[in-house]
Structure 1
Amino acid sequence: MTQYPTPDREGHFWAKLVHPHREPDGEDWKSPDWEVVQVNDNNGTGDDKWRVYVPGIEPGQLIDAFIWGPRIPDFSQST
């Protein structure tokens, strides 16, 4: 998969966690493959502007900890 720019808005994206933050000793949170993550506005500035949530990892991660893939389009339910 081609590497994409760092997200600048909220949403779901394909990504690989490569530099985990707050990882406990003896655990390996690095992504072996591409996975879907959720990017949220953290109401901060600089490195704290965004928080990224990875399934199965409790602490939110900093946005610079990833290799980024494409954004996943928002779900729209048609009636």
Structure 2
Amino acid sequence: EESRGTLLRVSFSHKDIANLVGASRPRVTEHLARLEREKFVIRQGRQMVVQVAKLFDSMKDAQAAAHLAGARLN
């Protein structure tokens, strides 16, 4: 942990991540770019800082929105 979030000291290539999650390398690149734009991930050379609390808050918001959307359909 550090002031900006959780520093991932191990560097992974986009291909490594793709193999771990069962996605294509271009898709991983696309999603990592989005996570950076939205300030969930900060690149530090070949390492990354993940803002875990911000990610969890975003996931909670998305779950709440999905729940509300489902309730409206019923």
* TM-score (ref. length: structure 1): 0.25
Considering fraction of residues, name the structure with more helix.
2
Q: Larger RCO: Structure 1 or Structure 2 (Cα < 8 Å, ≥ 6 residues apart)? A: 1
